[in-house]
Amino acid sequence: RGHGATKAADAPLGKFADSDGIAKVIADVDAVHDLIAKEHPGLPVMAFGHSLGASIALNFVLRHSQRVHAAA
């Protein structure tokens, strides 16, 4: 998945998937969280973002509040 400069050349801007795009992006964030938590157990987690990233971070916090220590 990508957006802006990270999207595939033939992908329409703002389209993450054929269906449930934001849910899939949140699942991607969840997977990255799991990877980092495994490599750095016990460290607090802070969710933050800018623009679309802020919306993604907020959605992650709303769905997984027990896994986040702070948000900005």
User: For residue 27, which of 71, 70, 64, 66 has the smallest C-alpha distance?
Assistant: 64
Average pLDDT over residues 50-62: 93
Residue 66 backbone phi and psi in degrees, to 5: -70, -15
Q: At residue 5, does pLDDT exceed 90?
A: no
Place of tokens 């157990």: 41
* 47 neighbors 57 (Cβ within 8 angstroms): yes
Q: At residue 32, does pLDDT exceed 80?
A: yes
Average pLDDT over residues 28-44: 95
pTM score: 0.78
Average pLDDT over residues 21-32: 92
Q: How far apart (Å, rounded) are the C-alpha atoms in residues 21 and 40? A: 29
- Binning pLDDT at 50, 70 and 90, where does residue 71 land? very high
- Cβ neighbours for 28, distance < 8 A, ≥ 6 positions apart: 1
